[in-house]
Structure 1
């Protein structure tokens, strides 16, 4: 529980949950490289954003302060449970999570599936550390707070704000390694735009999320382990057997429309006999993976539809908390 003492009556009360990342990074003044992520605490981060106190009453909590490559499932469970707990307070209106960009899309999708509130949940970060010339973190954080404080944001699930764009947690992808407009939703487009502190919505995700999601992580201290195998020419199919020994499910980042060689397909039969579900995704960044009589001849081989391999891994892991039945897992993937 967080005690809310509104500093400015009439403004929404927004909780910022900080996890570190480039947005909290520092390095040589003016430079964008060779910096240390997660150096600034939440109070320092908020105090660096001009006029943020004019759009909402801010309350911060430091969940972690790490590079996003060091984010773990423990962090995910902590974040989701924290939001689910705090969202029960009537005097809390929305949430912002600060996060490193490298795995931001994974955290956004996990929260989209596991948070149980219609209150706005917004995740953001930065491509430049706080000490860089024209650091992008302050504007991203300012706009994220503004979005979380907007009535228009209620019921959109977990959203991502980056470089003036608003994206759904399900569809957002990092698409550039260093530019500040590093995120979009490929073929699905953005949900809308931020202009200063005003959101403009034009789209809405129709997939189940948050309060409409069937997944409940309360009481869980871990998730089923799911691994990702990357297919390439002449790739050894025994990697599937290796991963299956250490996992409860496997996602294949296949070529083209989620395809792979015949010897990989034959190995999937062995996994079927071991009770291991296999999700067929693609290393291509856009398009759709549909059922195919050749590729999905075994019932444990399930298409990912439009989910990227990392997001298919998240959905499969959550699906395994509900069922081990291959057909039921397939239905979950077609729904979500």
Structure 2
């Protein structure tokens, strides 16, 4: 039976048409973006691996994607799955700048049973040796596979299948930009077959406790980045702005300056939930005596940007620090 896969395009490099085949840097200035159906038409080879159909959305520069678009994508996936009972999977094309954050949000909030794969490109669709076409084909192959079910949202670029929780963009322009630093890829989309090697153990969509369908907004959560001589000004500003949570992107393995520590303790005393992560990009934050005494929650090995997403979702179901610590140990 032919596999059917839906393709939702949100813009990004994969949708971009530059001034010519050698325009691999300033293509955004050309202002030409393909819609989802235009991307499928440009790379007709995708129909050789599944029956792929376009789902209308809109093109949004990925630095502009956030809560509103995330919620729309969750609801759109619900709609597409409901309207297509025989659907095998869903692929979402996305700009790479914030792709990992969208993928992680979806991995925590989707309720559809079919695989959802988020993909993008490092070179525009018009470029010589663009990666857009093969990334799209491989994302469709993964979305159509039975092995991808139950793994939450996945990320596919450069022939590598990555878990949304673990992957991050590590290079501005290289093809191998998306990496899972601590654990590596789940598998590879090779020419002969999809080669799987491991499965994530943390709790994943669709079996999560987060339901954003009735929410108008997420609680405000900000990130305070550690640097030498940081004096707590950013933390105090976030607290004054009404932050319900603050993620401290500390020095590895989870330290902040005295000025930031004082401001974070004051924020915690005022009822703000504080999660301690690191700016290192790899490794766990340990549940030390100092963190426990301050009432801060370790982010485990989540990057600051992903800890922010999990904390915001956690705050939609509880404000109890003990429960939020459980959530960080579960997801």
TM norm. shorter chain > 0.5? yes
Deviation at 1:197, TM superposition (A): 6.9
8 Å Cα contact 1:21-1:100 kept in structure 2: yes
Work out the CA distance in 1 between the residues paired with 2:239 and 2:4.
46
8 Å Cα contact 1:143-1:196 kept in structure 2: no
8 Å Cα contact 1:229-1:251 kept in structure 2: yes
Show CA shifts across 1:31-68 (max 9, x none). 21111277111111011214211221112123221221
8 Å Cα contact 2:230-2:259 kept in structure 1: no
Partner-residue secondary structure (3-state), 2:56: strand
Q: How does 1:157-236 map to 2 (within 5 A)?
A: 157-196=152-191, 198-236=193-231
8 Å Cα contact 1:19-1:62 kept in structure 2: no
Work out the CA distance in 2 between the residues paired with 1:132 and 1:211.
37
Q: Which residue pairs with 2:9 in the alignment?
A: 18
Work out the CA distance in 2 between the residues paired with 1:137 and 1:38.
15
Q: Which residue pairs with 2:59 in the alignment?
A: 65
Q: Which residue pairs with 2:300 in the alignment?
A: 305
8 Å Cα contact 1:22-1:38 kept in structure 2: no
- Which sits farther off after the overlay, 21-30 or 80-89? 80-89
Q: Which residue pairs with 2:94 in the alignment?
A: 99
Q: Which residue pairs with 1:6 in the alignment?
A: none
Work out the CA distance in 2 between the residues paired with 1:186 and 1:213.
25
Work out the CA distance in 2 between the residues paired with 1:48 and 1:198.
24
Q: Which residue pairs with 1:44 in the alignment?
A: 38
Work out the CA distance in 1 between the residues paired with 2:161 and 2:286.
28
Deviation at 1:276, TM superposition (A): 0.3
Q: Which residue pairs with 1:273 in the alignment?
A: 269
Q: Find runs of 4+ consecutive structure 1 residues off by over 4 angstroms.
A: none
* CA RMSD across the alignment: 1.4
Deviation at 1:130, TM superposition (A): 1.2
Work out the CA distance in 2 between the residues paired with 1:258 and 1:190.
25
Normalised to the residue count of structure 1, the TM-score between the two structures is 0.93
Partner-residue secondary structure (3-state), 2:175: coil
Deviation at 1:24, TM superposition (A): 0.5
Q: Which residue pairs with 1:5 in the alignment?
A: none
Partner-residue secondary structure (3-state), 1:101: coil
Work out the CA distance in 2 between the residues paired with 1:257 and 1:64.
40
Normalised to the residue count of structure 2, the TM-score between the two structures is 0.95
Q: Which residue pairs with 1:282 in the alignment?
A: 278
- Which sits farther off after the overlay, 109-118 or 83-92? 83-92
Work out which of the residue numbers 115, 123, 143 in structure 1 matches 2:118.
123
Work out the CA distance in 2 between the residues paired with 1:143 and 1:76.
23
Work out which of the residue numbers 258, 265, 268 in structure 2 matches 1:262.
258
